[in-house]
Amino acid sequence: MGKLGGCYMKLLKRFTDSDIFGISGFCDRKPHQRVSAVLLDDDGLVATICVGIFNFYTLPGGGVEDGETEEQAVLREILEETGCHCEIIDCLGVVEENSLLHDWYSVSTCFLAKVVGEKGEPSLEQYEIDSETRVEWHGLGEVLNTIINQRENKTYSHKDERNNTVLKLVMERDIALLNLIIEDENKALNEQKAHWEQVYADNCNKFGTNPSWSAVKAAEFFKANGVKSILELGGGQGRDAIFFAEQGFNVHVLDYSDKGLDAIQERSQSLGLSHLITTTKHDARQKLPFNDSIFDACYSHMFFCMAFTMNQLENINKEILRVLKPQGINIFTTRNTSDAHFGTGTYHREGLYEVGGFIVHFLGTQQINQLSKDFQALEIIKFEEGELPKKLFYVALQK
């Protein structure tokens, strides 16, 4: 991705009549200079501007005024449209939107930005008020899906055909920007795999051999509810999987680390528990390798605070829902936004921060509620663990 001061010559995308209407041509008029931004709050939610009378969703942005730099313009537009002061994290590049058919040419300089301080109220012009313009905050994947849906299903409308074409070009730009952020996060997660392999290679008991507090609590609940089979996501080196097996549960552990899975297999064999523990290498961004409705419960400890986007976490939870039996239990823990490490280290967008080489997704209450929406929430509590201490959510859900 581009950095501040070096992004303006980096062309991310060029959208023309060929993309919209399937016809060739290029408008060579002087382009409108514009800015657009993916703006994230502390919970990793994305600012979305909804123009109510057109039923149209877009990202914050607008025209560059005389005498303004692109940075000044995007800060002003964000403040006007969302009521938020912000800092620019990255300049992503430029997107050209061009229509010879409707005599339109704009060049949008695109930014990634983060809210600073408290959210305020938008300062809208009268035409924006008349258009029922408002700001909404949603997860990255949800915003992308909303904009794709309005493009595919043509849920927006404008009486003027030229403006309709401009809206189509804007949607293509917004989709390209959101996909760029998601692709960057996938790259970060891929790089984390190598980091975890090295961590496990250097320390055969990185987190010790005693079970976590959450595993002990979950085991009591599982026993009380007749659970026999457990799917564990992100089993690490197996301290919780071993504990569950010692309690008589059948455990199937998924992890993408060869070193971690090797450690689980070796320890389960040495303890005579290998008949109760199955391990499979799997990247949780992919569909779970199981048929529907086969596990009594799913458990994960600090797996949901790995370098996943909210869209990926929602997809993981949907897969968990699929493989759980009716009335199945889903228990997970994740570090929360009260944690001392939240807001420190290197910011990686959408509530992710890199601290000591580990990318951590700190989740707030709104994200926990979003992840719980397809389940019945049984218990959501906060607890602390380990040094610092880490501050976490313990979430118990039922299908």
Burial class of residue 73 in the structure, from the number of CB atoms within 10 Å of its CB (0-12 exposed, 13-18 middle, 19+ buried): buried
Predicted pLDDT of residue 9: 65
Residue 355: closest CA among 338, 366, 342, 373: 342
Tokens matching residue 216: 């002990």
- Please state which CATH number belongs to domain 203-398: 3.40.50.150
Go through 29-56 and write b for each residue having 16 or more CB atoms within 10 A of its CB, e for each that does not: eeeebbbbbbbbbebbbbbbbbbeebeb
Q: Max alpha carbon distance in the chain (Å)?
A: 76
Predicted pLDDT of residue 7: 55
Direct distance between the N- and C-terminal alpha carbons of the chain, in angstroms, rounded to an integer = 40
Q: How far apart are CA 123 and CA 134, in angstroms?
A: 10
Domain residue extents for the chain: 11-185, 203-398
Q: How far apart are CA 394 and CA 214, in angstroms?
A: 7
Q: Render each residue's pLDDT in the chain as its tens digit; 399 residues.
A: 333 444 556 889 999 989 888 888 899 999 999 999 999 987 778 999 999 988 899 999 999 999 999 999 999 999 999 999 999 988 999 999 999 988 899 999 999 999 999 999 999 989 889 989 999 999 888 899 999 999 998 888 777 788 888 889 999 999 999 999 888 777 777 888 888 888 887 877 777 789 999 999 999 999 999 999 999 999 999 999 999 999 999 999 999 989 999 999 999 999 999 999 999 999 998 999 999 999 999 999 999 999 888 878 989 999 999 999 999 999 999 999 999 999 899 887 677 899 988 999 999 998 899 899 999 999 999 999 998 899 999 999 999
Q: Can you say whether residue 386 is alpha, beta or left, with left for phi > 0 and alpha for psi between -120 and 50 degrees? A: left
CATH architecture observed for domain 11-185: Alpha-Beta Complex (3.90)
Q: How far apart are CA 153 and CA 141, in angstroms?
A: 18
Q: How far apart are CA 217 and CA 41, in angstroms?
A: 33
Peptide bond into 289 cis (omega under 30): no
Burial class of residue 159 in the structure, from the number of CB atoms within 10 Å of its CB (0-12 exposed, 13-18 middle, 19+ buried): exposed
Q: List, in order, residues 6 or more apart from 280 with CB less than 8 Å away.
A: 252, 253, 254, 261, 289
Is the pTM higher than 0.85? no
